[in-house]
């Protein structure tokens, strides 16, 4: 019976190929003027039209905002004694309080400017006006490399007065209100773009960036002639797919399980980011919890008794999924996690919990891989090649910390 319930998470080759093909079709719709508005995958131009040359030198500031924590970084780029290219970084993480995430745009960006001021003080560089690269990991319609309109918040952010406005302008206004430092915001990019660019320094064949963390998204280098939202025919432009919304028009309906529907219905954005909700770290732990509760209700786990903690939404964190799958085989780690949730499991219970975690995370990986295959296949077709040898730069907490 446990096997029967978990088998729903398994996707066969034909199903994954269907996901790939639907992703590819929706990407194409997002690139075309006549279908862009109705497409679930928005394919947003980034105005990044080239990859790094490797000759860039100097001191730069970077601001990375994409979740409940954000990072300020001082980046020194130059050559060492052997004339090899090198990068030195100093960074500081800051947590964003709930009231800043869900208050007003002014509150949020004033807090960010306050943290930037703290960072500059710590490193004694407040007197310098350095170029700033702003990584902003939310859906944005770019009008230039340093101008982007926030389309909608994701990942728990709801700050009012930001959607429909230029994000770089909001940051510049907050810096100006403080008046204790100056900053030259030269570019705003998505985290997928930043990942692709940083990977390119290591591997010149990198033309795709992907994030698998709190959220899930990808970008890639597209032929300019097919990016109908931007004028120009020559060369390539990096496109931010915003593929997390794939499925919002029903493309994934037959692949969504009862647990996926509960996760969606109880989220802050029901009906939106449905592909992301099948994959990303923000939802993986809750999916596992819902399956565990179902198994308890079917009298297949914990002697049919669930603790109040286990019944509580959000109690089974995604980090627990990684920890369960990292258990060495003595079940001690699994036992400790379940004990912290008010459950005293048997060895068989521990084994079943591990199977549940593996089933949910494997589906996540397969769904993500199918989408990525769609991106690469589209690139291959655009370039009229039988095969395409490229590198994908990947980052994100799930990718880095989960034992795939």
Residues carrying an active site annotation: 155, 191
Q: Residue with structure tokens 């994000």? A: 167
Q: What is the DSSP string of 49-117?
A: -S---S---EEEEEEEESSSEEEEEEEEEEE-TT--EEEEEEEEEEEPPHHHHHSBHHHHHHHHHHHHH
Q: Residue with structure tokens 């990525």? A: 372
> Which two structure tokens, joined as six digits, stand for 340?
């912290």
Helix (H) or strand (E) holding 148: strand 147-150
Between the CA of residue 281 and those of 110, 287, 329, what are the distances in Å?
Answer: 28, 10, 24
Beta bridge partners of 258: none
- What's the burial of 120, exposed, middle or buried (CB within 10 Å: 0-12/13-18/19+)? buried
The alpha carbon dihedral of 273, 142, 25, 387 has a sign of negative
Backbone angles phi, psi at 247, to 5 degrees: 100, -15
Q: Rounded CA gap, 372 and 390, in Å? A: 12
Helix (H) or strand (E) holding 132: strand 131-136
| Number of C-beta neighbours around residue 403 at 10 A | 12
Q: Rounded CA gap, 20 and 378, in Å? A: 10
> Which two structure tokens, joined as six digits, stand for 318?
């995604």
Q: What is the DSSP string of 192-260?
A: HHHHHHHHHHH-TTEEEEEEESSSEEEEEEEEGGG-TTS---SSEEEEE--GGGTTTTSTTGGG--HHH
Q: Residue with structure tokens 């970008």? A: 219
């Amino acid at each position: 019976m446990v096997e029967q319930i978990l088998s729903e998470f398994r996707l066969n080759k034909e199903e994954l190929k269907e996901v790939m093909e639907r992703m590819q079709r929706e990407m194409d719709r997002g690139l075309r003027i006549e279908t862009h508005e109705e497409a679930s995958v928005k394919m947003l131009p980034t105005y990044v039209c080239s990859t790094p040359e490797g000759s860039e030198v100097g001191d730069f500031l970077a601001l990375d905002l994409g979740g409940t924590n954000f990072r300020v970084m001082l980046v020194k780029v130059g050559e060492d004694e052997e004339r090899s290219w090198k990068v030195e970084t100093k960074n500081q993480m800051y947590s964003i309080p709930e009231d800043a995430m869900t208050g007003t745009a002014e509150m949020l960006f004033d807090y960010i400017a306050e943290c930037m001021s703290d960072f500059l003080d710590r490193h004694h560089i407040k007197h310098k006006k350095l170029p700033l690269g702003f990584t902003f990991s939310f859906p944005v319609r770019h009008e230039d490399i340093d101008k982007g309109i926030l389309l909608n918040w994701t990942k728990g952010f709801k700050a009012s007065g930001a959607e429909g406005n230029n994000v770089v302008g909001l940051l510049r206004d907050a810096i100006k209100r403080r008046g204790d430092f100056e900053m030259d915001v030269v570019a705003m990019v998505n985290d997928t773009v930043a990942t692709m660019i940083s990977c390119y320094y290591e591997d010149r064949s990198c033309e795709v960036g992907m994030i698998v963390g709190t959220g899930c998204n990808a970008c890639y280098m597209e032929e300019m002639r097919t990016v109908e939202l931007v004028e120009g025919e020559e060369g390539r432009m990096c496109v931010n797919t915003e593929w997390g919304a794939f499925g919002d028009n029903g493309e994934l309906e037959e692949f969504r399980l009862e647990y996926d529907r509960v996760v969606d219905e109880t989220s802050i954005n029901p009906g939106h980011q449905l592909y992301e909700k099948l994959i990303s770290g923000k939802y993986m732990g809750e999916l596992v919890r819902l399956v565990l509760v179902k198994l308890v209700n079917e009298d297949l786990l914990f002697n049919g008794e669930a603790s109040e903690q286990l019944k509580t939404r959000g109690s089974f964190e995604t980090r627990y999924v990684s920890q369960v799958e990292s258990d060495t085989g003595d079940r001690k780690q699994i036992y400790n996690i379940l004990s912290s949730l008010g459950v005293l499991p048997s060895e068989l219970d521990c084994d079943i919990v591990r199977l549940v975690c593996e089933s949910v995370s494997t589906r996540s990986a397969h769904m993500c891989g199918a989408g990525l295959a769609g991106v690469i296949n589209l690139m291959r077709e655009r370039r009229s090649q039988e095969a395409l040898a490229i590198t994908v730069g990947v980052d994100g907490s799930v990718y880095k910390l989960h034992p795939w």
